[in-house]
Amino acid sequence: MSAVPAATKSITIFKGDTSDLKNVVNLMEKVQPAHFDLEVDRIYRRAWLPVTTTADLPQRGSYVGVYVPPLKASVLVVRGQDDKVRAFYNICRHRGNKLVNDGEQGCKLAFSCPFHAWTFAADGRCVLVTDDTQFVGLDKSKHSLLPVHCEVSGPLVFVNFAEQPKETLAEWLGDLHGNYGDHFDGREQIASWSILVKASWHITVNAFTEGYHSLFLHKATLPDYQGGSGNPMRHRPFLEVMQRHARYSAKANPAHKMTPVEELSYNAGRKLYPAFPHVDTSAPGFPAGVNPGRVDNWAFDITEFFPCFVLIDGAEWHQAMWFWPVDADHTEIRVVDYAYKAQSVGDRLAHSYLRARNREVFREDISTMEAIHASMKTGVMPEVVLSQQEMLLQKHYAMVERMVGQP
């Protein structure tokens, strides 16, 4: 582990090898079409990519249709009758029609193509060919759905589009594999939305992996939820870079004053962002991956699962964020909020407040993306300079350069 130079008046505990990180990054070159083409081939065709969460596959037969823009591929993710989660190309083996719509969720015993009603079991087997006597020499066993490599870790379902992945999911995730325990169990989806942004996927991911901006960009919506007299610049108390991924923990402001609406909502239901309940991290069996630095007044963790997924994790809620590149100049951002399952009207009120607040903050975050992208495309300022509090960005670009540099 290499030493990190001490930051002036910082409360941050830094962890991990920073030897390949740079505080000056040529961003202009990374928003060019030629570079994007290399990223698709050398990152997205090789990486383990989170495509959905286990919360969206709660029972046997649950399924989700997911479109992966950089690879122009639609996948069907299914929890089988044997409880195993599998992924297939969302392609009927007859004429190539989609079995389900992208973004569709539900629960089925089997999947029947709307075109000619060929039907497939949840494990991919072709179980019905309509008017089968008209197909000469057809063997249904040779027309199962086309599989995509699929594994589950914690709350996330990952796929890999390589013919044969170079490493297992456990090897790809490293320290992030298997250290969340049951922290995410019992939660339900409470909100989802998406937006197409005219900006590189790098810029959109970057907007959510540092807290430096929160004091300024969110001063109207979140004036005092972090920071306070002991941490006026809202430095992260814990920041870790791993082999491929990176994370930090945010510290709540103990002097945070709830607004009247926040107070009404969270007195009726459990506290959610931006109010943070006390969490006893010393309790036996508390997951190592949640508040990994064991900081006091813990607010939430932000983890970038390279290349384009961000998990924001709190005590009673979490947010899944995908930053899918469409091309060099456009990114589709998908956001899904999860929280404890509501058992009362008060819980529903708390959920509603979380939804409204998260969308307000999200709109502020996306306000910078297209402006930054347009600036980089001019070429007049090719490089950006990054602070230690932006170390997740430094790690992101180190990984990009490493993978793009590998033929």
pTM: 0.95
62 within 8 A of 78, measured Cβ to Cβ: yes
pLDDT band at 282 (very low <50, low <70, confident <90, very high): confident
Mean pLDDT of 324-343: 97
152 within 8 A of 50, measured Cβ to Cβ: no
Tell me the percentage of the chain whose pLDDT exceeds 90: 94
Domain ranges of the chain: 13-46+185-404, 49-164
Q: Cα 111–114–116 angle (5° rounding)? A: 100
9 pLDDT more than 80: no
pLDDT band at 101 (very low <50, low <70, confident <90, very high): very high
Arch. (CATH architecture) of 13-46+185-404: Alpha-Beta Complex (3.90)
Arch. (CATH architecture) of 49-164: 3-layer Sandwich (2.102)
**H or E element in which residue 365 lies:** helix 345-366
356 pLDDT more than 60: yes
Of residues 309, 313, 301, the one with CA closest to residue 335: 309
Q: How far is CA 22 from CA 30, 162, 209, 385, in A?
A: 15, 30, 16, 9
Higher-confidence position of 395 and 4: 395
* Rounded Cα–Cα distance for residues 196 and 132 (Å): 43
